[in-house]
Structure 1
Amino acid sequence: MRTENAERGSRNAEQPSQRWYACSAFLAIGLSLGLQSPDPWPILDHASQVYQTITSLSANFDQVIVNPMIGAPDTTHGRLYQMRPSRFAMRFTAPKGDRIVADGRFLWLYTPSTTPGQVIRSRIPDYGTTGPNLIGQFVERPHERYTASYVRADSLPEGMADVVRLVPMGRDAPYSEATIWVGREDGLVRRLDITESSSQRRTVTLRNMRVNAGVPGRELTFSPPAGVRVVDQ
């Protein structure tokens, strides 16, 4: 009898321990599933689909460039304009007078604040659909061009956004990675954080966006001011 009672007591003692391990295992599985990052591709697909419906876009921008070789960040502001497929412009209000214009044939870089008396002109390639486009390069055909990972959800003045990290598959991109903020409701790219090949980091935040409202023609053309030398690259 003593042996039988001892065995029964031993089994009863084991049962709580077994239940504890079973509960712990289920809890660990639940936590593991809860910690899995969301799939970034539905977010990018949404952004890509929305981008295909946009013929023109304008927005105020704040740009911060951090160059580890220089130290202090360079902060600029202005208005950005885009007209698909290859027209793009940034008119700076600080520093006032600086402009970047892609007119469909040439990309003009005019920065009298740092290099007065000249404008750099380079031809836009005839192939491809993105051109010198700040936004399109990240949401056009993303499956073919990037590996993607979900970073986090973030709150912006316009509402919630999903943050996605992109790493180019090819080696010809002028940046090693980019992180974009995609509006959860409208699918618009509202912020970009780009790590360039030179290790320079560029952050662009877009505000007061207007979609498919047209762009003034003067913003997408550039004529060198009198006395300004054109440097072809």
Structure 2
Amino acid sequence: MLFLIAAYAGGANADGLKSLENFVKTVKTGQATFTQVVTSPAREGQAPRVKTSSGQFEFSRPNRFRFDYVKPFVQTIVADGQTLWLYDVDLNQVTARKQATVLGSTPAALIASAADLQALQADFVLADAPDKDGLQWVLATPKSKDGQLQSVRVGFRAGGEPTMPTTTLEVLEIVDSFGQRSVLSFTGFKLNPALAASSFQFSTPKGADLIRQ
């Protein structure tokens, strides 16, 4: 599940912050396929547990996004600007939470929610990280110490022409306060596609239990 770093010195050619700023400024909508690998810390005498899931992701800045998990279980996460909805098909259960109280210091805020870099800096300490695997990286440390998020690393691929650069989101690496590591890899990223407003609307399916938090 999405939910949704100690800064170290940037290396040569570290332009992660420039890529993040360009992404936030120029990419107002986005759509991609994602694979998520969650690795839990190893317990004594046991190997780390690894879970893999995949699905579709799209967003419309600010404050609207959607994750549709299709494998191995069907789940939907929708942020409509006011409410964050989580629908678990197997449990036939919907959880609704006020979006403003849960999204500030989350990975979703980094990639989809904030309107500009200044808004992100209200919740995160941002720093360049060394280029790696052909990507430009940003390290983000939540300013709040009360949340479940410990750190986020965001990888971008820069492209386009010097006069009109493009920035594509490639990887999110998330570590929570329990040491669990989640890596989301994005493929087929579409920059600024036309997205229907209905993509970011959610209605509780008939017969599903609704829990408001």
Regarding TM over 0.5, the answer is: yes
Question: CA offsets, 1:11-62, max 9 Å, x none?
Answer: xxxxxxxxxxxxxxxxxxxxxxxxx82364x431232123212221110000
Structure 2 spans left out of the alignment, 5+ residues: 1-9, 160-165
- Other-structure match for 2:93: 118
Structure 1 spans left out of the alignment, 5+ residues: 1-35, 155-159
1:161 aligned onto 2:135: yes
Return the offset for 1:222: 1.3
2:130 to 139, 143, 151: 151
The CA distance in 2 between the partners of 1:97 and 1:111, in whole Å, is 7
SS of match in other structure, 1:125:
helix
The CA distance in 1 between the partners of 2:105 and 2:195, in whole Å, is 18
Letter of the 2:154 partner, please give it.
I
1:65 to 34, 38, 42: 38
- Other-structure match for 1:74: 51
- Other-structure match for 2:80: 103
- Other-structure match for 2:20: 47
- Other-structure match for 1:93: 70
Return the offset for 1:189: 2.3
**Greater strand content:** 2
Letter of the 1:105 partner, please give it.
Q
* Contact 1:60 1:206 survives alignment (8 Å): yes
Cα distance change of structure 1 residues 222 and 137 upon mapping to structure 2, 3 Å threshold: closer
The CA distance in 2 between the partners of 1:193 and 1:137, in whole Å, is 17
- Other-structure match for 1:31: none
Equivalent pairs: percent with the same residue? 23
Higher relative contact order (CA 8 A, sep 6+): 2
**Greater helix content:** 1
2:188 to 197, 204, 208: 208
1:180 aligned onto 2:154: yes
Letter of the 1:225 partner, please give it.
P
4+ residue runs over 6 A deviation: 128-131
Return the offset for 1:64: 1.1
Cα distance change of structure 1 residues 162 and 91 upon mapping to structure 2, 3 Å threshold: same
The CA distance in 2 between the partners of 1:217 and 1:96, in whole Å, is 25
Return the offset for 1:72: 2.3
